[in-house]
């Protein structure tokens, strides 16, 4: 408690300050090209010297949100992928391009300051873009927007021969649809382009208490299948027979005395 919490706070302050400075200086795109070439170099060296040993990222376990020790990495050839920056926000195209180790907290803080957000926002700040793409991500808007992969429009990958491939619905289409849930088996993710949407200042939440399992299922089904409204829907169970279904929508104004920060 007396070491980890202060150390974690210091790390977060450093991380977000660095991210803010890099974004404001707009130096990330230039650095990105250098980083991609470094990943290519490492993969090509693996092809020459260590091809019999599988590759994996060199990301240490303490940076992961999982309690599981990634023991398999001890026997693998580690590729350093230090890609932690937001590269570009295109408000005309309504997309953001970022590197795989950008976190949800980092991305949402940057976007909301500019009046934007992403359609699916997994709520844990330390989740990374790469993890949500290569694994999966879901949130309270997924009943309308789909999983995290469904808001991604393009991926940049370094594949096993060291080449860089871009994939989208119109380019390397098969690879584009194979990347989600692939857990890094198809290549090293180096950039992702994601849809963005306008963000409102407030979110209006309504709570619907339920007092039976049938009532909970019925209410949740009704609220998630509504065509209009209900940008966000979530349910919390307090027991087998009691819970609450919460619905929410972004809005520009709030009623006095009803704002919770």
Confidence of residue 24 (pLDDT cuts 50, 70, 90): confident
Contact between 242 and 204 under an 8 Å Cβ cutoff? The reply is: no
pLDDT of residue 257: 76
Residue 15 belongs to some domain of the structure = yes
CATH of the domain at 161: 3.30.465.10
pLDDT of residue 261: 65
Do 169 and 64 sit in the same domain of this protein?
Answer: yes
Do 120 and 148 sit in the same domain of this protein?
Answer: yes
Do 146 and 228 sit in the same domain of this protein?
Answer: no
pLDDT of residue 69: 77
* Residue 21, pLDDT above cutoff 70: yes
Do 79 and 167 sit in the same domain of this protein?
Answer: yes
pLDDT of residue 34: 94
Residue 174 belongs to some domain of the structure = yes
Q: Which structure tokens are listed for 119?
A: 């359609």
**Among the three residues 198, 214, 240, which one is the final residue of a domain in this structure?**
198
How far is CA 8 from each of CA 13, 83, 216, rounded to the nearest angstrom?
9, 20, 39
pLDDT tens profile 211-254? 999 999 999 999 999 999 999 999 999 999 999 999 999 999 88
pTM, two decimals, is: 0.88
How far is CA 212 from each of CA 162, 209, 225, 237, 247, rounded to the nearest angstrom?
56, 10, 20, 10, 18
pLDDT of residue 23: 82
Contact between 257 and 231 under an 8 Å Cβ cutoff? The reply is: no
Do 228 and 127 sit in the same domain of this protein?
Answer: no
Contact between 52 and 70 under an 8 Å Cβ cutoff? The reply is: no
Query: Regarding predicted confidence, which is higher, 194 or 258?
Result: 194
Residue 171 belongs to some domain of the structure = yes
pLDDT of residue 7: 85
pLDDT tens profile 167-225? 999 999 999 999 999 999 999 999 999 999 999 999 999 999 999 999 999 999 999 99
pLDDT tens profile 55-98? 999 988 777 777 777 888 889 999 999 999 999 999 999 999 99
Other C-beta atoms closer than 10 Å to the C-beta of 128 total 26
pLDDT of residue 80: 95
Residue 257 belongs to some domain of the structure = no
Do 224 and 186 sit in the same domain of this protein?
Answer: no
pLDDT of residue 5: 82
Count: domains in the chain: 2
| Edge-to-edge strands, sheet with 152-158 | 86-90, 95-98, 188-195, 152-158, 164-168
The 3-state secondary structure of the chain, one letter per residue: CCCHHHHHHHHHHHHHHHHHHHHHHCCHHHHHHHHHHHHHHHHHHHHHHCCCCCEEECCCHHHCCCCCCCHHHHHCEEECCCCCCEEEEECCCCEEEECCCCEHHHHHHHHHHCCEECCCCCCCCCCEHHHHHHCCCCCCCHHHHCCHHHHEEEEEEECCCCCEEEEECCCCHHHHHHCCCCCCCCCEEEEEEEECEECCCEEEEEEEEECCHHHHHHHHHHHHCCCCCCCEEEEEECCCCCEEEEEEEEECCCCCCCCCC
Do 73 and 155 sit in the same domain of this protein?
Answer: yes
* Residue 115, pLDDT above cutoff 80: yes
Do 247 and 167 sit in the same domain of this protein?
Answer: no
118 is in which domain, residue-wise?
Answer: 4-198
Do 125 and 157 sit in the same domain of this protein?
Answer: yes
**Among the three residues 175, 198, 221, which one is the final residue of a domain in this structure?**
198
Output the CA torsion sign for 20, 89, 31, 189: positive
Residue 259 belongs to some domain of the structure = no
Q: Which structure tokens are listed for 113?
A: 């300051």
Do 211 and 94 sit in the same domain of this protein?
Answer: no
User: Cα-flanking dihedrals φ and ψ of residue 180, to 5°?
Assistant: -60, 135
Do 228 and 187 sit in the same domain of this protein?
Answer: no
Query: Regarding predicted confidence, which is higher, 4 or 243?
Result: 243
Relative to beta strand 77-79, strand 55-57 is parallel
pLDDT tens profile 131-147? 999 998 999 999 999 99
Do 95 and 47 sit in the same domain of this protein?
Answer: yes
């Amino acid at each position: 408690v007396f070491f980890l919490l202060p150390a974690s706070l210091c790390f977060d302050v450093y991380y977000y300050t660095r991210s803010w400075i890099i974004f404001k200086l707009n130096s990330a795109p230039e650095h990105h090209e250098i980083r991609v070439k470094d990943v290519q170099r490492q993969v090509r060296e693996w092809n020459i010297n260590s091809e019999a040993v599988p590759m994996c990222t060199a990301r240490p376990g303490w940076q992961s949100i999982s309690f599981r020790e990634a023991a398999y990495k001890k026997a693998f050839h580690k590729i350093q992928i230090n890609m932690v920056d937001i590269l570009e926000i295109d408000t005309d195209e309504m997309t953001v391009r970022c590197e795989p180790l950008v976190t949800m907290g980092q991305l949402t803080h940057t976007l909301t300051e500019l009046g934007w957000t992403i359609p699916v926002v997994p709520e844990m700040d330390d989740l990374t873009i790469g993890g949500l793409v290569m694994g999966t991500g879901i949130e309270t808007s997924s009943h309308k927007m789909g999983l995290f992969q469904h808001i991604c429009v393009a991926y940049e990958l370094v594949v096993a021969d060291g080449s860089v491939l871009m994939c989208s619905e119109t380019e390397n289409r098969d690879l584009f649809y194979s990347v989600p849930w692939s857990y890094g088996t198809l290549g090293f993710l180096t950039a992702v382009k994601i849809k963005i949407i306008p963000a409102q200042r407030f979110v209006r939440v309504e709570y619907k208490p339920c007092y039976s399992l049938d009532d909970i299922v019925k209410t949740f089904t009704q609220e998630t299948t509504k065509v209009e409204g209900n940008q966000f829907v979530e349910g919390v169970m307090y027991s087998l027979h009691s819970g609450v279904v919460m619905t929410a929508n972004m809005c520009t104004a709030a009623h006095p005395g009803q704002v919770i920060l």
